[in-house]
Amino acid sequence: MSLNCLRLVCHSIKKPPVFHLSYSPSSYSSSPAVLVSMSYSKELAAAKKAASLAARLCQKVQKALLQSDVQSKNDKSPVTVADYGSQALVSSVLQQEIPADFSLVAEEDSKDLRKDGGQEIVERITKLVNDSITSDGSYNVTLSTEDVIKAIDSGRSEGGSQGRHWVLDPIDGTKGFLRGDQYAIALALLDGGKVVLGVLACPNLPLTSISAPDQHSPNNEVGCLFFAEVGGGTYMQPLDGSSAVKVQVTAVENPEEASFFESYEAAHSMHDLSSLIAQKLGVKAPPVRIDSQAKYGALSRGDGAIYLRFPHKGYREKIWDHAAGCIVVTEAGGVVTDAAGKPLDFSRGNYLDVDTGIIVTNQKLMPFLFNAVRESIKEKAASL
Ligand code: AMP
Ligand code: MG
């Protein structure tokens, strides 16, 4: 059955449109600036729907994985199936909801699935996608294995500074996924090279602050959906669909009271450098190490004040690892830059060209953080 047979039953949220000033050469001299309405509410509703369904798919696979025996835990195929399944599902939902000029930059492609032995995995992925896409009654569809492969491969766009491009990490933090820890489905939309909306589905993130473990929600509930549209703020709602609340980054101004996030995996970020930075700032709390863009989500609601990411030499950051997280934090009042203080540039294709690393905090703390980062990088280089 073709993707066009998908049947929509979901509702888009009503939000006031965001207005951007658009200057024409004549407006520069005499006429007033032209106001152009740029609401992305339809796209945001589609993105939330797609990410929530993908989260359900991943939860199902992770649950089975964690219940399995040691031998099958060492088998990496569950993450493979969930990764491709999440990408196929998100791609199918977006193409159905927003078919015009569809372009998707995503982490996976079907090359490996076409190799010997791939057919069985494709069949497992297809079953999972079909079960998940129909799970809440929004769609009535049966995708074929070819539909699924096509949906995965529609993520081969190069992105860039022209037009609109969806940006997807179908499972960000696969190591966390395998450990039973944090991971995220991260989806953003670029328009003219800028991130205009972002959605982070974090199935294992507690609904209440992870910095105050004694203040659990009534049943220690987990599963958060963060979403942001340019000019519209950041919201968080439970993945089960109950109502959304507006979130803000922390108002902490004193670096000594700040706490910071970093990667769980030492291979993804230099823990010794962040420790030096924290020492210079006088940060007392130990680092909070969690996987994936759940760090951006947690920071957007004030669970911690700072996120430090310093990949080892030679690693190039990909846009899908930061696009959704970046807008979720900036719309909540935070600042995201590279170590030289430059905003991240998502307009240059699949890669981000960042200087040394990525730093995230609130407006008040950024000058202190920036100085500590500069000094620490210099010191580290001198000691080598
Ligand atoms: P995190 O969970 O924050 O450590 O980040 C997870 C993401 O790091 C993955 O989705 C990968 O795309 C990315 N990644 C993979 N290898 C590296 C590396 N060597 N350095 C930095 N990031 C990496
Ligand atoms: Mg990733």
pLDDT of residue 65: 85
Residue 368's φ and ψ, nearest 5 degrees, are -65, -45
Half-sphere exposure of 336 (CA within 13 A, CB side): 26
> How does pLDDT run across 248-284, given as a tens digit for each residue?
999 999 999 999 999 999 999 999 999 999 999 999 9
Indicate the average pLDDT of the chain. Answer: 89
Our answer on whether the CB atom of 321 is closer than 6 Å to any ligand 1 atom is yes
> How does pLDDT run across 150-177, given as a tens digit for each residue?
999 999 999 999 999 999 999 999 999 9
- Identity at 165, one-letter amino acid code: H
> How does pLDDT run across 338-384, given as a tens digit for each residue?
999 999 999 999 999 999 999 999 999 999 999 999 999 999 999 98
Q: Report the catalytic residues.
A: 83, 174
> How does pLDDT run across 296-313, given as a tens digit for each residue?
999 999 999 999 999 999
What distance in Å separates the CA atoms of residue 242 and residue 351, rounded to the nearest whole number? 35
Q: Which residues contact 82 (CB under 8 A, 6 or more apart)?
A: 57, 58, 61, 62, 128, 170, 171, 177
For the chain, the distance separating the N- and C-terminal CA atoms, rounded to the nearest angstrom, is 60
What distance in Å separates the CA atoms of residue 3 and residue 51, rounded to the nearest whole number? 18
Q: What is the DSSP letter of 255?
A: G
What distance in Å separates the CA atoms of residue 70 and residue 175, rounded to the nearest whole number? 16
What distance in Å separates the CA atoms of residue 262 and residue 278, rounded to the nearest whole number? 11
Torsion of CA 259, 261, 266, 267, to 10 degrees: -150
Q: Please say whether the beta carbons of 48 and 227 come within 8 A.
A: yes
What distance in Å separates the CA atoms of residue 259 and residue 250, rounded to the nearest whole number? 10
Q: Please say whether the beta carbons of 202 and 184 come within 8 A.
A: yes
pLDDT band at 103 (very low <50, low <70, confident <90, very high): very high
Q: Name the residue with tokens 């109950």.
A: 242
- Cα 289 to chain center, whole Å? 17
pLDDT band at 317 (very low <50, low <70, confident <90, very high): very high
> How does pLDDT run across 210-230, given as a tens digit for each residue?
986 556 666 789 999 999 999
Our answer on whether the CB atom of 292 is closer than 6 Å to any ligand 1 atom is yes
Residue whose CA lies nearest to ligand 1 atom number 9: 173
pLDDT of residue 165: 98
pLDDT at 26 over 70: no
Q: Please say whether the beta carbons of 104 and 154 come within 8 A.
A: yes
Distance 17 CA to ligand 1 centre (A): 35
pLDDT band at 4 (very low <50, low <70, confident <90, very high): very low
- Give the number of the atom of ligand 1 that is nearest the alpha carbon of residue 172: 10
> Which string of DSSP letters, residue by residue, matches 111-174?
TGGGSTTHHHHHHHHHHHHHHHHTTTSS------HHHHHHHHHTTB----SSSEEEEEEEEE-H
Residue whose CA lies nearest to ligand 1 atom number 4: 263
Going by C-alpha positions, the residue among 344, 334, 328, 322 that lies closest to residue 258 is 334
Find the length of the chain: 384
pLDDT at 7 over 50: no
Residue whose CA lies nearest to ligand 1 atom number 10: 172
pLDDT of residue 36: 54
For residue 180, what are the CA distances in angstroms to 55, 93, 169? 14, 27, 18
pLDDT of residue 33: 45
Our answer on whether the CB atom of 108 is closer than 6 Å to any ligand 1 atom is no
Distance 38 CA to ligand 1 centre (A): 33
Q: Which two tokens stand for residue 114?
A: 């076409």
3-state secondary structure 274-329: HHHHHHHHCCCCCCEECCCCHHHHHHHCCCCCEEEECCCCCCCEEHHHCHHHHHHH
Distance 153 CA to ligand 1 centre (A): 22
Query: Which of 175, 268, 354 gets mutated to test ligand 1 (max ligand atoms within 8 A of its CB)?
Result: 268
What distance in Å separates the CA atoms of residue 171 and residue 30, rounded to the nearest whole number? 50
pLDDT of residue 67: 84
- Give the number of the atom of ligand 1 that is nearest the alpha carbon of residue 291: 2
For residue 277, what are the CA distances in angstroms to 263, 357, 372? 15, 13, 5
- Give the number of the atom of ligand 1 that is nearest the alpha carbon of residue 318: 12
Q: What is the DSSP letter of 209?
A: -
Distance 293 CA to ligand 2 centre (A): 8
